[in-house]
Structure 1
Amino acid sequence: MKFKILTDSTSDIDQTWAQEQAVDVLGLTVQLEGVTYETVGPDRLTSTVLLEKMNHGAKPQTSQINVGTFEAYFRQVVEAGQAVFYVAFSSTLSGTYQSAVMAREVVLDDFPQAEIVIYDTKAASLGQTYLVMKAVEVREAGGSLADALAVVEDLAPRMRTIFLVDDLNHLMRGGRISKTSAIIGGLVNIKPIITIARDGSLQSTAKARGSKKAVSTAIDMILDGLADDTVLVAYADQEEPAQVIAERLRENPQITRVLVGPLGPVISAHVGPGTIGVFAVGKEER
């Protein structure tokens, strides 16, 4: 039986592709200069607009998807007689996952036989998107929701996420890293390297002197024990550095596919201008 695949806007998923592949996307919101913006739909806030304002001192805030939004979505799917598989943003970085869990319990009170599967990827951005892509592949091949869940459960703990960040103060302001880490990362000519740990939290795992060294370090970290032939590269407001990394990755014979795409507004609001993200599946769990 076909099932619904759901994700959220922290996945930075290409929304045109999502529509074509019948992937539903719910959006977190961004508060910017006193205005609340949606991150899904034709009138959504774009990263281009957001990052330009951040370059001029704006300090956006993001809000999780609320319980009511999830409940309305789950009810609609269940009343249509379908199951749903929600590939969710890291629960450590947002309350969105917990909102979905609470909404599921409310809906199951009325529809106890409904199948609503919520999986905490402990991932973000294009790493989360890649897990959605694999779930879509399973569904298109005729697999069940249980089959898709099994694939995602295998891949997610091995999903490596590396962010090269220009200014850690954005992450500190959002409470994602400590003030001490932000201060150390702000030292002259030091390029901090941020990863998502096994529990889904952000960690400052390395520091490189200068951008070139940081890029080389990030590539080495991705290639060490690589288990898949696909690597994804995301960028905030500067695509050229991301394409440079992509070209270097394509030189590796083990890699047959490198996908490059922009960071969405929710992730951009936290990591800030100049950020590059690299994502791949490793042999070992993070």
Structure 2
Amino acid sequence: MNKEKVAYLVDSGSNVPKEYVEQGNMNVIPLKIIYKDEEFIDNVNITAQDVYDRLQDEIPTTSLPSGEVISEIFKKMQDEGFKKVICVTISSGLSGTNNMVRVISENFSDMDILTIDSKNIGIGSGLIAVQAYKYVEAGLDWNTIKTKLEEDVSRSKIFFHVPTLEYLQKGGRIGLVASILGNMLNLKPIITCNEDGVYDTVAKIRGNKKSVQKAIDLAVDFAGNAKNYNLAIAYGGKTALAQVEEIRSVLKEKLPLAEAIFEGEVSPALGVHTGPGLIGIGIIITDS
């Protein structure tokens, strides 16, 4: 039960597990997928597979929704009687969503609005939103929730395996030289977000299978001696989905104390920049 009558606002790039969006009545800010002749709303009228199927013809761009869209969501929460709002967004180092939410929230001074810059992307950000919901349902006081969520930013991580550097390079996410060299040597990068919330290559492994295993190993290292944590497997497209069952089995063996292992496809907006075949291993340490 929602003790404090807290509303939630997340962006579609955070890939919050569907069950938490629904049971938490979370409001989702939809990012946009823009082609030359048309545009779509992230995860509303386009899927990640749709994006992949069209990549040979056109690589779209992504953008924020208008400020008016975000204002309307805040107004809706206000009209529903909410006095407290928790906003969790993908990293401000990768998107302007967080800053836009902060600026617009100043127009709703009658609500206590907490905006968390996850310094992360995809389910790495979504796991923080899950924790926000759990803290409220556990009846924690507002100040404690604020403190714990700020701590959770450094306690969550996602490690992405991508089978090609092509889309990251075309989207300006990594340098051209690194892209050419990596593709020539069949090196598969493991990408995470650093402490500033920007993409950082933490490893380059030859071959897809070894690269996925390295992403798992990095999550294990991140867990360290923690006794409580949640895990997530993010995938991009049909080929990646086929690997999920085996990855889940390995995670259960290597990280047996996981309270939950969430699974889900990355948002179309993230798929634009990474291409098909992505595997992401997310983890958040939940020790109290």
Partners of 2:180 and 2:285 in 1: CA distance = 30
Matched, 1:212 2:209: yes
2:267 aligns with 264
SS in 2 for 1:37: strand
1:84 aligns with 85
Matched, 1:198 2:201: no
C-alpha root-mean-square deviation of aligned residues, in Å?
2.0
Contact 1:84 1:115 in 2 (8 A): yes
Partners of 1:263 and 1:210 in 2: CA distance = 22
Once structures 1 and 2 are overlaid, which stretch shifts more, 74-83 or 124-133?
74-83
Partners of 2:128 and 2:213 in 1: CA distance = 26
Aligned ranges 1:1-286 → 2 under 5 Å: 1-15=4-18, 17-41=20-44, 44-54=45-55, 56-82=56-82, 83-105=84-106, 107-108=107-108, 112-226=109-223, 227=226, 228-237=228-237, 238-252=240-254, 253-281=256-284
Amino acid at match of 2:263: V
Amino acid at match of 1:135: A
Amino acid at match of 1:234: A
Contact 1:6 1:85 in 2 (8 A): yes
Partners of 2:253 and 2:185 in 1: CA distance = 31
TM-score by length of structure 1 reads 0.89
Change beyond 3 A, Cα 1:145–1:248? same
TM-score by length of structure 2 reads 0.88
SS in 2 for 1:191: strand
* Structure 2 gap ranges (5+): none
Q: Deviations over 1:219-239 (max 9, x none)?
A: 211101413432111000121
Change beyond 3 A, Cα 1:146–1:266? farther
Amino acid at match of 2:166: N
Q: Deviations over 1:176-214 (max 9, x none)?
A: 222233223322321111111111000112111112221
Q: Deviations over 1:75-126 (max 9, x none)?
A: 3323444221111110000111111122123x14xxx343122111111111
Q: Deviations over 1:143-169 (max 9, x none)?
A: 344333222211111212111012222
* Structure 1 gap ranges (5+): none
Using the aligned pairs only, state the percent identity: 28
**Number of positions where the alignment pairs a residue of Structure 1 with one of Structure 2:** 276
Change beyond 3 A, Cα 1:206–1:35? same
Partners of 1:13 and 1:272 in 2: CA distance = 20
Partners of 1:273 and 1:40 in 2: CA distance = 16
Q: CA deviation at 1:282?
A: 5.5
SS in 1 for 2:277: coil
Amino acid at match of 1:265: P
Amino acid at match of 1:242: V
Q: CA deviation at 1:15?
A: 4.0
Q: CA deviation at 1:246?
A: 1.6
Contact 1:89 1:122 in 2 (8 A): yes
Change beyond 3 A, Cα 1:174–1:81? same
Contact 2:17 2:262 in 1 (8 A): no
Amino acid at match of 1:114: M
SS in 1 for 2:184: coil
